A and B are shown apart, each in its own frame.
Chain A
Amino acid sequence: MKKPKLRELGEAVRALVKGPYTVNFPRVPSPAASGFRGIMVFEEEKCIVCGACAEVCPAGARELTDSLGNKTRRITHHQERCIYCGLCEAHCPWKAIHHTEEYDLAQLTRDNYDTFVEKELLMCEICGGPIATREQLLWIARTAGELAYANPTLAFLLHQDIEGVETTLPLGASRAYRSDHLRLLCPTCRREVYLQEIWGY
């Protein structure tokens, strides 16, 4: 019966000499281990606002919103909904989002949690609906290589980017017409234009 008490005494003496075991946080910083899944940050210049992260997020912490008036598309990260799983980091084609080793999440208002990236949105020249962001289309065009020339939207964008050529033509008839296929078009209008050319309606 005495022996266990002696063992416990050793632990007690150690505690007495070493002082409190806890860290005086936040005055003394307590850094997380390397590779910690902390607060997520966007890298604005890398992000193309494709929305892949919004697709994979299991917690719905990403929101993709279009502003048709300003012609912008915005990806918002709602920090307070994030579950720190790292799926978006794994699926981002541009590695534009990553975990930091920060874990101090306290904020005074809920709005302070939102971070976002906003990029120029290209609009269909016929219906005025959104296609995708300029950078995303350019990325698709470059990834597709010569296959990009199969789609005039991509081809024009590529040429605009390389040569700075202005390709916008004046609008002709009120309905989609064959010459319209040389425009920036959304998939629906592109189908309409080609059907017009093939079958005349």
Chain B
Amino acid sequence: MKRVVPIGPYHPLQEEPEFFKLQVEGEKVVGLEINIGYNHRGHEYISPTLTWDQAIFLVERICGICSNSHPFAYVCAVEDLAKIRVPERAEYIRTIVDELQRIHSHFLWVGLAGHFMGYNTVWMWFWKYREHLLDLLELITGNRNHYAMMKIGGVRRDIREEDIPAIEKTLNLLEEKTALFTRAVLDDPVIRARLEGVGILTTQDAIAYGVLGPTARGSGVAIDVRKDDPIAAYSWIPWDMIVFDDCDLFAKAKVRLLECLESVKMIRACLERMSPGDILADVHEIPPGEGIGRVEAPRGEVFHYVRSDGSNMPVRHKVRAPSYMNVASNVAAVKGCTIADAVLVLASVDPCYCCTERIMVMQDGKQMGDGEYLIKLSQKTTETLKTRYGDPESKLRGLM
């Protein structure tokens, strides 16, 4: 007999609102219904009310963890639009900050995965050394989490020559500890027992759901924006894409852990090749037109689209975060697991709901999902925001 076990809307583990309905037969999960949309914040509407330079700080706050990837994708989109050439040193600095952020995000995930398994030692280890990483980001960018580094045409801060020994020192420590913990985690019988063969997302399913990032690479799909469509310094430095075709949770953990080591290698290569020079191109005006930016965030590809009418604000700004694709794949991955494993499977895609949220409405326990209703609701939200932020509709009307 089928029964439904609800997880959420306030998740017992991850501090984000999402709602999973696990359909179970005894201990076994036979189906999953996903409801997201508790966290709609109207970023795409607020963005056209800010200037090109101000919008960077808004998109930075789409996600607290990939807080470099979103501005990075946004500035890439604007540079694509305005055909701006970014100085070489700025490209290297962008790569360094992006890779540091990737290590910090993967450490966070591995730590949390340990915590979800009840293996708090792993959690403490990884978060202990993640602290060194945050200190390093603070030294380079001036902030621990919202780096405010990206600027249209370059970066806001240079990496000071006198900071390089400190960076090298932290990198050495990180490399040593990551290697140690990677081996410790991968050899641990408890972790292997919990992760191996659990939450299988086959390669066909991965392609069918269009998953991105480590989720795809753990299922044998070799996609990575850094290789496929290289931006910044990714095509200038040597690095390997980590792909495993075991398709289980263990493969995803391996991808993330080994990517950390790969990132340390990339940062070293960037520091070596970096030569003194400008960090900011001359940007005067953003011409009318449209542009896209694709960046490999720790969770997968972040996509930004901007359209300009030649004024000092974007008229349309569209964001697609990787979790939007990845979360849906849980339906395939979670089938056949036990309830205890399901929690881990749902967390395995490293979901980030605040990046992802579009909108969904529940009324009397029923989903009000039809398109027309959503459009009406969207118009209502727009009205509310309009009273708060003023009216950019006149600008939009000219383009529609």
* A residues whose Cβ falls under 8 Å from a Cβ of B: 1, 3-4, 7-8, 11, 21, 32-37, 56, 58-59, 83-87, 90, 99
Query: Using an 8 Å CB-CB cutoff, how does the interface string of B119-147 with A read, 1 for contact, 0 for none?
Result: 00100010010000001001100110010
Q: Does B157 count as interface, using CB distance less than 8 angstroms? A: yes
Cα-based distance from A59 to B55 in the complex (angstroms): 10
Of B180-188, B203-211, B235-243, B370-378, the one contacting chain A is B180-188
**Are B54 and A56 within 8 A (Cβ)?**
yes
Q: Does B53 count as interface, using CB distance less than 8 angstroms? A: yes
Cα-based distance from A3 to B180 in the complex (angstroms): 12
Partner of B143, one of A1, A21, A84, A90: A84
A-B pairs with lowest CB-CB distance, top 4: A58-B54, A4-B187, A33-B139, A37-B142
Partner of B58, one of A21, A36, A58: A58
Given the contacts A36-B142, A56-B54, A58-B50, A3 and B125 also touching, CB distance less than 8 Å: no
**Are A56 and B183 within 8 A (Cβ)?**
no
Cα-based distance from A8 to B55 in the complex (angstroms): 46
Residues of A within 8 A of B160 (CB): 35
Residues of B within 8 A of A11 (CB): 125, 180
Most buried by B among A11, A58, A90: A58
Residues of A within 8 A of B180 (CB): 7, 11
Q: Of all chain A residues, which has the CB nearest B61?
A: A83
Residues of B within 8 A of A87 (CB): 53-54, 57
Residues of A within 8 A of B135 (CB): 33
Q: How many A-B residue pairs have CB under 8 A?
A: 57
Q: Of all chain A residues, which has the CB nearest B160?
A: A35
Query: Using an 8 Å CB-CB cutoff, how does the interface string of B176-206 with A read, 1 for contact, 0 for none?
Result: 0000100110011100000000000000000
8 Å CB interface, B54-91 against A: 54-55, 57-58, 61
Residues of A within 8 A of B128 (CB): 21
Q: Does B148 count as interface, using CB distance less than 8 angstroms? A: yes
**Are A58 and B189 within 8 A (Cβ)?**
no
Residues of B within 8 A of A56 (CB): 51, 53-54
Residues of A within 8 A of B142 (CB): 33, 35-37, 86, 99
8 Å CB interface, B220-271 against A: none
Residues of A within 8 A of B61 (CB): 83
Q: Does B2 count as interface, using CB distance less than 8 angstroms? A: no
Q: Does B156 count as interface, using CB distance less than 8 angstroms? A: yes
**Are B187 and A35 within 8 A (Cβ)?**
no
Q: Of all chain A residues, which has the CB nearest B142?
A: A37
A9 CB, nearest partner CB in chain B, Å = 11
A127 CB, nearest partner CB in chain B, Å = 28
Q: Of all chain A residues, which has the CB nearest B166?
A: A33
**What are 22 contact pairs spanning A and B, CB under 8 A?**
A4-B187, A7-B183, A7-B184, A8-B184, A33-B135, A33-B139, A35-B139, A35-B157, A36-B138, A36-B142, A37-B142, A37-B148, A58-B54, A59-B57, A83-B146, A84-B143, A84-B146, A85-B57, A85-B146, A86-B142, A87-B53, A90-B156
Known: A83-B146, A86-B156. 12 other contacts (CB 8 A): A4-B183, A4-B188, A7-B180, A7-B183, A8-B184, A32-B138, A33-B142, A34-B139, A37-B142, A83-B57, A83-B61, A90-B156
Q: Of all chain A residues, which has the CB nearest B136?
A: A33
Residues of A within 8 A of B58 (CB): 58
Cα-based distance from A35 to B55 in the complex (angstroms): 23
B137 CB, nearest partner CB in chain A, Å = 9
Cα-based distance from A188 to B196 in the complex (angstroms): 76
Given the contacts A11-B125, A86-B148, A37 and B184 also touching, CB distance less than 8 Å: no
B212 CB, nearest partner CB in chain A, Å = 29
Cα-based distance from A35 to B57 in the complex (angstroms): 19
Partner of A1, one of B121, B139, B189: B189
B51 CB, nearest partner CB in chain A, Å = 8
Cα-based distance from A34 to B138 in the complex (angstroms): 9
Residues of B within 8 A of A3 (CB): 187
Q: Of all chain A residues, which has the CB nearest B188?
A: A4
Residues of A within 8 A of B138 (CB): 32-33, 36
Residues of A within 8 A of B156 (CB): 86, 90
Cα-based distance from A112 to B180 in the complex (angstroms): 48
**Are A58 and B57 within 8 A (Cβ)?**
yes
Cα-based distance from A118 to B116 in the complex (angstroms): 54
Query: Using an 8 Å CB-CB cutoff, how does the interface string of B139-168 with A read, 1 for contact, 0 for none?
Result: 100110010100000001100100000000
Residues of B within 8 A of A32 (CB): 138
Q: Of all chain A residues, which has the CB nearest B46?
A: A58
B342 CB, nearest partner CB in chain A, Å = 27
